[in-house]
Structure 1
Amino acid sequence: MIKEAIQYIVGLGNTRVEEVGTQIFSTQKLHKVDESTTEAIEVHSLSGLVEYLQSEFDGNERLMMHVKSPTKVSCFSSFNRDLNRNFLIKANAMLPSFNFDRWYDSEDFNIKLQSCFVKNEDRDIMLKVVGNIKEEAVNTVGDDGVSQAVVAKTGVATVANVRVPNPVVLAPYRTFVEVDQPESEFIFRMQSGPSCALFEADGGAWKLTAMQNIKNYLHAALEKEIQSEKIVIIA
């Protein structure tokens, strides 16, 4: 066993490579040694991403930034000799939790509207409807398939049929807080319980707007680095 090991080690120093016809052969099996790559730092804001790049902490090689989605941005180098990239830093947005296409009871829905959506006119109208609906009258609902009417408080001691706004234009927190939250249309529905739900109605077009907002933010924050061609941004 020891003799075979010694012969193997000695043989390593006598490796030859020969070309026979159109084929290349070696007297020993060769193993590829991969060039090492970096593990990306993770941050949760665009400002943290910008601060890292401006610090040139890990050098000043030319980099590309990729806006992958409304919640993800990564920064990487060009190919190394193995056609792999060094990913230096990535940003993942931290967002409040709201599930579309899910029914919430009126109290939870009221809280979610105030904590997960940017204040605008339609949000305020919905808050008034949801906050004043009469529980004993939730089954008295008019519905023509598009709009609804529910019995809700309209004064200190009065109730009346109130039209439920539909569709509504809202701006949920769905991307990094440093950029404008895109507005889009939602279908707002209510049912007995009382419970409420929002259904997306823009086909996901808001994602393109959010990604462009991120790209514009990065262009403005890294204008000097972009002009000197140290950084390229794609979305």
Structure 2
Amino acid sequence: MKAPALEQRKLLDLQAADNRIAQLQHTLRTLPQEVRLAELQRDSVAARQEFGGVNGELEDARAEIARVEADIDTVAAREKRDRERLQASSSSKDIQGLEHELASLKVRRSNLEDIELAVMERVEEIEQRLAAITARRDDIATEERLLAAQRDEQRDRVAAQLEVAKSERSAIAGGIGAELLALYERQRERYGVGAALLQGGVSLGTNVALTESDLAQIRAAAPDEVVLDPDGACILVRTEESGL
């Protein structure tokens, strides 16, 4: 294949543009905030699950307090009733029975009040744990929002740079003949590099020094002859730096 030497040199600009595009695309795929956001998402899920479990403990403890308070109210009502009956009774047998029941109710009420106090202390401890979980969950959400905003800002900035790079690439490709461009695209698709400079006898496509035999063949080629790296990896572009 033949192509003007100046057109072949444009392949280096095209390769540089493709390298820039690949770099920007890689940046978009590996934004640094994404790793931390994934960690925060896992932390957020764990915090929500922990919140749900502790909140369930709190609801159970508050329900237990309500039951104990209802029992205390029941005992207090029976005490009130028995006192009223005691005041109105003239039967020593009834008085003895009422006094015995009142003593039992007093013990029962004291036990219930102890239980209530213990459960109230447990509620306080659970509320403290729940407050700590809530604070941690809020901190996670705040960091997520900040990081997401930073990520979106960087993504938009890189995406804009990518669009510019693609536009510049199109302009460069427009100045290269269809046949040469097709060869470049084919080599780049196969090997990742479409064209590279031959510099000081070294192919910058493979970073391998060419043999004297290979260099002799390249020297013998006309300036408009398109030559490939001896390994076939890419188009070799010859300039005054080639050492020929």
Please report the TM-score for the alignment, with normalisation by the length of structure 1: 0.22
Of structures 1 and 2, the one scoring higher in RCO (CA 8 A, sep 6+) is: 2
Please report the TM-score for the alignment, with normalisation by the length of structure 2: 0.21
Greater percentage in strand:
1
